[in-house]
């Protein structure tokens, strides 16, 4: 269903939430006595659709409520799918059927609806087909009726038309299933927010109620002390095991002080416990601190553990950027990774935008073994310690940011580009050179005007169609930034 992220050796990726897909197929019952061979053929097509849906991945659970022939059977199917708690309902139009058979299914479940019209083959055999044979290819006939009725009933829908073995159609269906899975992650997600807002970052400030209201899920407000008490319980043996893991995952630069690495490892173990205890799917954090006090030291030691968590599928972002950690979660569940990113500089000679961030990074999308570099000072932040340095894997990439309009509505902003080779800073930051196919200054102006925050998720692959599908199912405005 999605590309599989290669989790670095030694790390165990979190178990993904299962996506529940409801399937109901149907046709007009008046046809069955008229054309005895029609219903068996349509049932075979429905079985093939069920088989293909189940083949989209182990994380997809298909609830097949069978074949319906009239409005009464549709009502029964609607109740079964409502109880199943589906993330997506697929209505298979095998032949003509009335809207009264599917509107209750859409109304009662509350789940997004995908109508599919997949005829048996790419074309009919016109010379030999009679009326019964033609009706097996007539799934397109009710689609306008369904669209009209759904619109009048206030039910959003989307559709895919093709034939049973049409891989282009199945790619589109898979995209909707993946998007429904992401929607489900957001609706059921638990997002940790630890510490306090980075002073002055007005774009980062988020009304916590708006997360639950617009995306679903829950924001768990955490204190640095929630982490502190867990770090204090970490044993020396556990800390040394985490140091060994860090050396297995990273190249450790000579600039790394052993004491800083040991402290980062100890904080990492405590951070894992925090995430487990609060059942978090993502985490954003920041704490300023003062004069080396315990909370400042704790905040400075988070980068190693945050990067390891992100690679395992629990996106973690610094600077209290809750909407960015959620954008990273979206990209991760699309199989794209999603690393904490902002603008760094523009290269007008090579025509690229340089972007990345200090702090947490998605190790699974690094172009090489990531590097741990020791920093005597964190720019713009208090404390010192180890930081992660790498370039995102070269090739197609997508930016995904979750901005907010003046009326409070969220906007999902995306742009596609390509990470290319070139000189990189060696300052303990992730840095990538991204070519957007035009003048980097013009692109930066358009991107900045889109409504995105100054942080976003950078992931691999061209994912705009996937993100557009996610925005559609979640009910978000979607903006694609491009220069043409």
229-272 pLDDT, tens digit per residue, is: 999 999 999 999 999 999 999 999 999 999 999 999 999 999 99
* Averaged pLDDT, 52-72: 97
C-alpha span between 47 and 278 (Å, rounded) = 41
C-alpha span between 180 and 176 (Å, rounded) = 6
% of the chain exceeding 90 in pLDDT: 89
Q: Is the pLDDT of residue 7 over 70?
A: yes
Of 279, 237, 243, nearest to 259 (Cα)? 243
% of the chain exceeding 70 in pLDDT: 98
Q: How confident is the model at residue 381 (pLDDT cuts 50, 70, 90)?
A: low
Q: How confident is the model at residue 484 (pLDDT cuts 50, 70, 90)?
A: confident
Under 8 Å between Cβ of 421 and 394: yes
Which pLDDT score, from 0 to 100, does residue 261 have? 96
Q: Is the pLDDT of residue 389 over 60?
A: yes
Partners of residue 340 on adjacent β-strands: 457
Name the one residue in this structure whose structure tokens are 């800073």. Answer: 425
C-alpha span between 278 and 193 (Å, rounded) = 11
**Domain 19-186, classified CATH 3.30.300.30, yes or no:** no
174-189 pLDDT, tens digit per residue, is: 999 999 999 999 999 9
Which pLDDT score, from 0 to 100, does residue 425 have? 87
Partners of residue 419 on adjacent β-strands: 395, 434
C-alpha span between 263 and 130 (Å, rounded) = 77
Q: How confident is the model at residue 427 (pLDDT cuts 50, 70, 90)?
A: confident
Domain ranges of the chain: 19-186, 189-480
C-alpha span between 456 and 329 (Å, rounded) = 11
Under 8 Å between Cβ of 11 and 314: no
Q: Is the pLDDT of residue 4 over 90?
A: no
Q: CB within 8 A of 153, min separation 6: which ones?
A: 103, 106, 107
State the average pLDDT for the chain: 95
Range with lowest mean pLDDT among 48-57, 349-358, 380-389: 380-389
Which pLDDT score, from 0 to 100, does residue 358 have? 84
The pTM of the whole model exceeds 0.85:
yes
Instruction: Give CA 472 to chain center in angstroms.
Output: 13
Q: In this structure, which topology does domain 189-480 adopt according to CATH?
A: L-fucose Isomerase; Chain A, domain 3 (3.20.14)
C-alpha span between 146 and 113 (Å, rounded) = 11
* Averaged pLDDT, 44-65: 97
* Averaged pLDDT, 24-38: 98
**Long-range Cβ pairs for the range 142-146 (8 Å, 24+):** 142/93, 142/96, 142/97, 142/98, 142/99, 143/93, 143/115, 143/117, 145/98, 145/99, 146/91, 146/93, 146/99, 146/102, 146/115
Which pLDDT score, from 0 to 100, does residue 9 have? 80
Q: Is the pLDDT of residue 170 over 90?
A: yes
441-465 pLDDT, tens digit per residue, is: 999 999 999 999 999 999 999 999 9
With H, G, I as helix, E, B as strand and everything else as coil, classify residue 195.
strand
The angle, 0 to 180 degrees and rounded to 10, between the axes of the packed helices 224-232 and 258-277 is 110
Tokens of 382: 């208090």
Which pLDDT score, from 0 to 100, does residue 1 have? 47
Name the one residue in this structure whose structure tokens are 């990531």. Answer: 370
């Amino acid at each position: 269903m999605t590309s599989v992220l290669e989790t670095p050796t030694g790390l165990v990726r979190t178990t993904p939430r299962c996506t529940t897909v409801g399937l109901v197929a149907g046709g007009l019952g008046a046809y069955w006595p008229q054309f005895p061979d029609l219903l068996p053929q349509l049932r075979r097509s429905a079985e093939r659709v069920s088989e293909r849906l189940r083949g989209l991945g182990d994380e997809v659970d298909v609830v097949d409520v069978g074949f319906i022939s009239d409005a009464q059977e549709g009502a029964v199917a609607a109740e079964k799918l409502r109880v199943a708690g589906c993330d997506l309902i697929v209505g298979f139009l095998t032949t003509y059927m009335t809207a009264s058979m599917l509107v209750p299914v859409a109304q009662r479940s509350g789940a997004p609806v995908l109508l599919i019209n997949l005829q048996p083959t790419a074309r009919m055999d016109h010379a030999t087909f009679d009326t019964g044979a033609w009706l097996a290819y007539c799934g397109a006939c009710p689609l306008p009726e369904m669209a009209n009725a759904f619109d009048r009933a206030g039910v959003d829908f989307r559709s895919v038309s093709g034939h049973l073995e049409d891989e282009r159609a199945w790619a589109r269906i898979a995209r909707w299933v993946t998007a429904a899975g992401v929607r489900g992650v957001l609706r059921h997600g638990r997002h940790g927010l630890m510490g306090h807002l980075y002073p002055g970052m007005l774009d980062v400030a988020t009304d916590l109620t708006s997360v639950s209201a617009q995306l679903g899920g829950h924001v768990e407000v955490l204190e640095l002390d929630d982490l502190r008490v867990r770090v204090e319980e970490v044993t020396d043996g556990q800390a040394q095991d985490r140091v060994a893991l860090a050396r297995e995952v990273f190249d450790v630069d000579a600039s790394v002080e052993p004491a800083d690495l040991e402290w980062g490892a100890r904080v990492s173990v405590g951070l894992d416990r925090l995430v487990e205890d609060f059942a978090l799917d993502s985490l954003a954090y920041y704490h300023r601190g003062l004069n080396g006090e315990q909370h400042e030291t704790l905040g400075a030691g988070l980068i190693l553990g945050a990067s390891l968590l992100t690679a395992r599928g629990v996106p973690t972002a610094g600077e209290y950027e809750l909407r960015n950690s959620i954008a990273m979660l979206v990209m991760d569940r699309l199989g794209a990774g999603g690393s904490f990113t902002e603008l760094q500089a523009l290269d007008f000679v090579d025509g690229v935008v340089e972007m990345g961030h200090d702090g947490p990074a998605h190790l699974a999308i690094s172009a090489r073994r990531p590097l741990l570099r020791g920093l005597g000072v964190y720019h713009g932040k208090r404390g010192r310690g180890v930081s992660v340095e790498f370039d995102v894997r070269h090739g197609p990439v997508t930016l995904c940011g979750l901005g907010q309009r003046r009326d409070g509505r969220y906007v999902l902003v995306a742009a596609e580009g390509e990470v290319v080779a070139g000189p990189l800073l060696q300052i303990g930051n992730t840095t990538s050179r991204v070519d957007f196919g035009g003048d980097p200054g013009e692109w930066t102006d358009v991107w900045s005007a889109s409504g995105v925050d100054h942080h976003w998720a950078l992931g691999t692959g061209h994912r705009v169609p996937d993100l557009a599908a996610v925005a559609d199912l979640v009910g978000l405005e979607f903006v694609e930034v491009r220069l043409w």
